[in-house]
Amino acid sequence: MAERREVREEELVLVKHLIQLGGENPSDFELPMMVDDYENAVMGSINFTEPEKSPYKGDIVQVVYRDVDRVPVVITLTKNENNEILDMDFWKKDFSKLQQYPKPEDVQIFNNNGLV
C-alpha cells in the first residue's frame, strides 16, 4: 500500500452517505482521518483500516454511478470484524482512471439487473 494520507472531505461525505444507504448509522462508525490509496489512486479506492488489524467481515452497501465519460463505476463499502469501515472500493468497468469523484446524489444502490 502507498503512504498514508489525510482523508479528503469528499471521501468522508460519500462514505457517510453510503453507510446510510446500507441501513447503518454513520455515528456508529469512527472514521479515521488517515487512509491509504489503492492502485496508486487511479480509480479512487481507499483503505481506512489495515486488514491485519481485523479481517473483512462483509459489505455494507454496493452502489453504482456513471463517471463523466459515461463508463459505469461500482463502489463497495466494506467493514471488518470489529465493525469498522475497512475500505471503499471503486471498480470502473473499463479499468480507466476515475475522471470525477462522485457526489452522494450521483450514486444509486446496485441491483442484480446490472449497471445503470
Mean pLDDT of 40-61: 83
Q: Answer for the pair 74, 65: CB distance below 8 angstroms, yes or no.
A: no
Q: Domain for residue 114, yes or no?
A: no
Mean pLDDT (the chain) is 88
Total domain count for the chain? Answer: 1
Looking only at the bridges linking them, the beta strands covering 5-6 and 56-66 are unpaired
Q: Domain range for residue 64?
A: 5-109
Q: Domain for residue 53, yes or no?
A: yes
Q: Domain for residue 115, yes or no?
A: no
Q: How confident is the model at residue 41 (pLDDT cuts 50, 70, 90)?
A: low
Q: Whole-model pTM above 0.85? A: yes
**Model confidence pLDDT, tens digit, residues 1-35:** 457 899 999 999 999 999 999 999 999 998 888 99
Q: Domain for residue 50, yes or no?
A: yes
Q: Domain for residue 41, yes or no?
A: yes
Q: Domain for residue 97, yes or no?
A: yes
Q: Domain for residue 48, yes or no?
A: yes
Q: Domain for residue 103, yes or no?
A: yes
